[in-house]
Amino acid sequence: AEIMGESVKQLTDAVTDEDLVRDVEMIASADADIRNVTRVRARQVGSSALVDVEVTAPPDFSASAMRAIEERVRVRILSDVSGVLDVEVRVTGDNVVFCPLLSAIEDSDVDHQMSATEVEYAAREILEADSEVKSVEGVTVHYQDTVLIRVDANICVSSNATVSEANSVAARLRKNLLGSDSNIDSANIFLDLNTPIIQQKKVLSP
């Protein structure tokens, strides 16, 4: 009866390893894209634990960026916290719907992945360094299959630039982004020519 009682106790939320929870919180909060760790729960299953983590990220992150955060944090917890059998990570933010991972990927790829915040910062630096760019209106980071990075950037160029000149600038910027150390796999540059004649934004796609 005592053995049965202990087994039942281990399968409930009543048994929580405080050190394990603290380690999980520390790893999750260390990710540059995570604002807060809102909840960590651990259920004992024999000598291991099933961990459930809820975190928040900036609300303007894309859904694919949210999924990439979930997978990245999951891999790091499994890798760095002993005694964890499995982890479920959920990221919440405005206009984000939780759904399963798009596909399975190598843990090593996720573990070394740059955060969306780091990618955005690096992309802005590259774009703003170009003398033909008047301003960077926005940079959005997307993830395909949680690991391939796509950057969409909205920029303003000189009002004196022709469409041909503006597209040349966009081509150069896209080349600079893809050639950087930011692990960017594809990029779209949206041009605001800021002229009365051309009202439509032009886009240079991969």
- Closest of 3, 82, 75, 71 to residue 49, by C-alpha: 82
Nearest to 111 by CA among 158, 162, 146, 156: 146
Low-confidence ranges of the chain (pLDDT < 50): 8-15, 94-109, 195-203, 205
Burial class of 132 by CB neighbour count within 10 A (0 to 12, 13 to 18, 19+): middle
Helix boundaries (H) for 17-130: 18-29, 63-80, 107-111, 116-128
CA distance readout (Å), 92 to 9, 23, 74, 164, 173: 31, 21, 15, 42, 32
Buried b (16+ CB within 10 A) or exposed e, 111-129: eebbbbbebbebbeebbee
Q: What confidence tens digit (pLDDT) does each residue in 62-82 have?
A: 888 888 899 999 999 999 998
What 8-state DSSP symbol labels residue 51?
E
Note the pLDDT of residue 160: 80
Question: What was the pLDDT predicted at 98?
Answer: 43
Averaged confidence pLDDT in the chain? 78
pLDDT in tens, 25-43: 999 999 988 989 999 998 8
In this prediction, residue 107 carries a pLDDT of 44
